[in-house]
Amino acid sequence: MIQKKFNEVDRRIFYFPAVRPCETVSPATLLGSLIVLSQNIGNYQSKFFATQRRNSREAIRKIGILLVFFEEIHDRGSILPETAVLCFSELHLTFQKIRFLLEDCSREGARLWILMKSEMVVTQFRMLIRTVATAFDILPLNSMDICGEVMELVELVAKQARKARIEIDPNDERAMRRVLSVLDLFEKGIEPEFQVLKWVLDYLEIKTWSDCNKEIKFLEEQWVESEEREVPFLSSLLSFMCYCRVRIFDTVDYQNADQTDVPCNMEVLSCLNPEDFRCPISLELMIDPVTVSTGQTYDRSSIQKWLKAGHTICPKTGEKLTNTELVPNTNLRKLIHQFCADNGVSLAKTGKKTRDIARTILPGSPAAAEAMKFLSRIVARNLVFGTSEQKNKAAYEIRLLAKANIFNRSCLIEAGTIPPLLNLLYSFNKSIQENAIAALLKLSKHANGKKIVVENGGLRSIVAVLKRGISLEAKQTAAATIFYLSSVKGYRRLIGEIDETIPALVDLIKEGTPCGKKNGVVALFGLALYHGNRQRVIDAGTIPLLLHIIASSNKDDLIVDSLALLATLAECLDGTLAILQASSFPLITRILQSTTSQAGKEHCVSIFLSCCTNGGDEAVAVLAKDTSVMSSLYAVTTDGTAQASKKARSLIKMLHKFHETSSSGQGCQAFTNEQSVHVW
């Protein structure tokens, strides 16, 4: 094959990256490639076309006849005239585009989009078939060595291609009008009839929940990558399919295929709290963070669009902006860049996928807004009055809907979904409990969601799942929920005062999967930001457990998170004593020298600095025993962040002062009361 192969997943729909054969290609190679390409197009005969059936079938039929023509020339070994080579080169380019178009028309999950783009698709078919006809107008058939029967077939195809009436199928047009009528009803605040929705899905042969979900996923991908002018229409179609998924289908035919919403990776859940790195408007990592007059920070491009739209209030707080000055937040920008460097996150990639204000805080269209409100009321009603199966499905739908954007979360919260979800946490059904706690995790990312969870006594319910959840997954999700709730200063004390919280998190760190351990560590980190919780965390035996993770784990992000929590605990005297009693300095030194994470290095330096500050000369003496520490500290002063460099310089001064005041070896006595504690 001459053409470059493109993965269906990588190629955007309606993008045809056809490659024109080079001028020096041999006629035999060109002909052989045309045969293979025609065969590939013929294989689409077995594919399912929900729409454009007639146009697709006719294109495949015509090229199937031409395949006979190409094979005839190949078998006879005829020498092609120069005009024929030029014609075949044009056909090769056109056939590539036809194959891409057929691939799009039969693409899984794109049925609704293809239907609503019928005019564009028909125009493409018309243009490509006309190009085939034009190519045969200049093909010197009479000078080519082919049998009369094949020549008649080719002439017939060329004639049909010239005169073909390529139009929108009347049934496609009827289905398209019905979809548009439903969107119009949504915009007017009227719920569509069940039978109308069912007719559209039946026409597209979207028969199951998973079929519908594939359509939603495809539309979400298009939504993220779309031009601004396409956002309203895509948003409306997306809301249409989400509404159908909730209202039409009673059962979820695959629930394990989308269980990726419990955060396990460093980019989503970390002691660095990358949620602070995300723009409250776009929900993406900020590339150029700026601060407005209310003290809130946003990505420059997002807040500029907000202001350009005429808004005069702060998107996050609702306070009136006293001015429109945007002050660069250079410290946060450095942290974000360091975070990305440490975790292999491409800022260029995140910037490319950034969603603007119209796609996050606000709905993409009036139809999308009303559909989401209807949807929210349906799932809220099912959570309260539905059967066990309906409650389970409603909780799962919230998991998915709340992943999309801030507007979806706010609608679900306003519809009153949180109180019944909290009740479902006490279910003895494993699936119901898992879906309920996962839904609450999503809603707890919204400021109002956190507030309603706490006001409805949800903290104890979530801790109950953390302690006695039916499955490990439910416990891990509960820990992640506690992490998000602990981002509110006032809630850290409330959560920590529940007796079971901290011991349950420690148990999760002991028994959980790598994801569970991570969620447990970062949840404890969030709670330890409140000084009153630190003693509870230390008393629960957390420090030996963290040292064990640091010594034995092969998960770099988990090690860094453990170091962050350890650094926080080391700030209090009991934390320092526990670290010193565990003889952990050699371990921390090894991590300082071996880790490639700048955050990890800074945490190591913080641990040493806190221990030496709280532990006095005895602690400094323990650290001074290892002469290699000093070179590592100097490296941090030059290569680390401003904060890490400052801490390293303070520690270096302590060590220098200790060596200067230590004469005759008297000051070098190690921490005499140090007890060896096995790091397990």
Q: What is the mean pLDDT of residues 645-670?
A: 75
Q: Are 680 and 548 in contact (CB under 8 A)?
A: yes
- Residue with more model confidence, 143 or 345: 143
Q: Are 671 and 615 in contact (CB under 8 A)?
A: yes
For the cut 90, the answer to whether the pLDDT of residue 401 exceeds it is: yes
**Measured between alpha carbons, how far is 495 from 508 in angstroms, rounded to an integer?**
16
Query: What pLDDT is attached to residue 671?
Result: 37
Q: Which residues contact 221 (CB under 8 A, 6 or more apart)?
A: none
Which residues are paired to 290 by β-bridges? 298, 328
Which residues are paired to 327 by β-bridges? 291
Q: What is the mean pLDDT of residues 334-339?
A: 68
Residue indicated by tokens 């170091």: 563
Residue indicated by tokens 């409250």: 280
DSSP element (H, E) containing 213? helix 209-225
Query: What pLDDT is attached to residue 339?
Result: 63
Query: What pLDDT is attached to residue 658?
Result: 86
Which range (206-220, 224-238, 538-552, 575-589) has the least confidence?
224-238
**Measured between alpha carbons, how far is 632 from 653 in angstroms, rounded to an integer?**
14
Query: What pLDDT is attached to residue 663?
Result: 53
DSSP-derived secondary structure letter, 382: H
What DSSP assignment string belongs to 501-564? HHHHHHHHHHHS-HHHHHHHHHHHHHHHTSHHHHHHHHHTTHHHHHHHHHHH---HHHHHHHHH
**Measured between alpha carbons, how far is 350 from 329 in angstroms, rounded to an integer?**
19
In order of 140, 281, 630, the CA distances from 289 in angstroms are 64, 12, 35
The vertex-390 CA angle with 387 and 391, nearest 5°, equals: 85
Q: Which residues contact 164 (CB under 8 A, 6 or more apart)?
A: 58, 126, 129
Half-sphere exposure of 148 (CA within 13 A, CB side): 0
Q: How confident is the model at residue 316 (pLDDT cuts 50, 70, 90)?
A: confident
Q: What is the mean pLDDT of residues 281-299?
A: 84
**Residue 246, Cα to own-chain centre: how many angstroms?**
22
DSSP element (H, E) containing 123? helix 118-137
What DSSP assignment string belongs to 440-486? HHHHTTSHHHHHHHHHTTHHHHHHHHHHH-SSHHHHHHHHHHHHHHT
Q: Are 578 and 543 in contact (CB under 8 A)?
A: yes
Q: Which pTM was predicted?
A: 0.79
Q: What is the mean pLDDT of residues 176-199?
A: 97
Helix (H, G, I), strand (E, B) or coil at 320: strand
| Both tokens assigned to 197 | 């929705």
For the cut 80, the answer to whether the pLDDT of residue 673 exceeds it is: no
| Both tokens assigned to 375 | 């949807």
pLDDT tens digit string along 255-272? 444 544 544 533 345 555
**Measured between alpha carbons, how far is 228 from 589 in angstroms, rounded to an integer?**
52
In 3D space, the residue among 519, 522, 581, 515 whose CA is nearest the CA of residue 547 turns out to be 581
Between helix 573-581 and helix 531-539 the angle, nearest 10°, is 30
Percent of the chain whose pLDDT exceeds 70: 88
**In whole numbers, what is the pLDDT of the chain averaged over residues?**
86
Check the CA dihedral 184-190-196-197 and report its sign. Answer: positive
| Both tokens assigned to 172 | 């496609």
Strands 297-299 and 289-291, sheet pairing: antiparallel
**Measured between alpha carbons, how far is 536 from 531 in angstroms, rounded to an integer?**
10
Query: What pLDDT is attached to residue 665?
Result: 52
Q: How many other β-carbons are positioned within 10 Å of the β-carbon of residue 499?
A: 11
Query: What pLDDT is attached to residue 574?
Result: 94
pLDDT tens digit string along 418-471? 999 999 999 999 999 999 999 999 999 898 999 999 999 999 999 999 999 999
Q: What is the mean pLDDT of residues 141-164?
A: 83
End-to-end, the C-alpha distance of the chain in Å comes to 60
**Measured between alpha carbons, how far is 618 from 614 in angstroms, rounded to an integer?**
10
Helix (H, G, I), strand (E, B) or coil at 290: strand
- Residue with more model confidence, 285 or 66: 66
For the cut 60, the answer to whether the pLDDT of residue 342 exceeds it is: no
For the cut 80, the answer to whether the pLDDT of residue 346 exceeds it is: no
Question: Which phi-psi region, left, alpha or beta, contains residue 320 (left: φ > 0; alpha: ψ -120 to 50)?
Answer: beta
In 3D space, the residue among 84, 167, 87, 97 whose CA is nearest the CA of residue 128 turns out to be 97
Please give the domain boundaries of the chain with CATH numbers for all domains.
27-168 (no CATH), 284-350 (3.30.40.10), 545-662 (1.25.10.10)
For the cut 90, the answer to whether the pLDDT of residue 530 exceeds it is: yes
**Measured between alpha carbons, how far is 550 from 595 in angstroms, rounded to an integer?**
11
Query: What pLDDT is attached to residue 326?
Result: 87
For the cut 90, the answer to whether the pLDDT of residue 644 exceeds it is: no
| Both tokens assigned to 608 | 């040493």
Q: How confident is the model at residue 596 (pLDDT cuts 50, 70, 90)?
A: confident
Q: Are 197 and 153 in contact (CB under 8 A)?
A: no
In 3D space, the residue among 389, 455, 443 whose CA is nearest the CA of residue 417 turns out to be 443
Helix (H, G, I), strand (E, B) or coil at 567: helix
In order of 8, 159, 533, 653, 674, the CA distances from 528 in angstroms are 48, 79, 5, 28, 26
Query: What pLDDT is attached to residue 678?
Result: 31
Q: How confident is the model at residue 203 (pLDDT cuts 50, 70, 90)?
A: very high
pLDDT tens digit string along 352-388? 444 443 355 788 899 999 999 999 999 999 999 999 9
- Residue with more model confidence, 358 or 679: 358
Query: What pLDDT is attached to residue 248?
Result: 96
Q: Are 458 and 418 in contact (CB under 8 A)?
A: yes
**Measured between alpha carbons, how far is 648 from 604 in angstroms, rounded to an integer?**
10
- Residue with more model confidence, 566 or 670: 566
Q: How confident is the model at residue 592 (pLDDT cuts 50, 70, 90)?
A: very high
Q: Which residues contact 619 (CB under 8 A, 6 or more apart)?
A: 576, 580, 611, 612, 671
- Residue with more model confidence, 331 or 532: 532
**Measured between alpha carbons, how far is 182 from 184 in angstroms, rounded to an integer?**
5
DSSP element (H, E) containing 587? helix 585-594
For the cut 50, the answer to whether the pLDDT of residue 402 exceeds it is: yes
DSSP element (H, E) containing 328? strand 327-328
| Both tokens assigned to 50 | 């929900």
**Measured between alpha carbons, how far is 62 from 58 in angstroms, rounded to an integer?**
6
Q: What is the mean pLDDT of residues 214-243?
A: 91
Query: What pLDDT is attached to residue 460?
Result: 97
Q: What is the mean pLDDT of residues 25-44?
A: 92
Q: Which residues contact 15 (CB under 8 A, 6 or more apart)?
A: 100
Q: How many residues are there in the chain?
A: 680
For the cut 50, the answer to whether the pLDDT of residue 541 exceeds it is: yes
Query: What pLDDT is attached to residue 614?
Result: 93
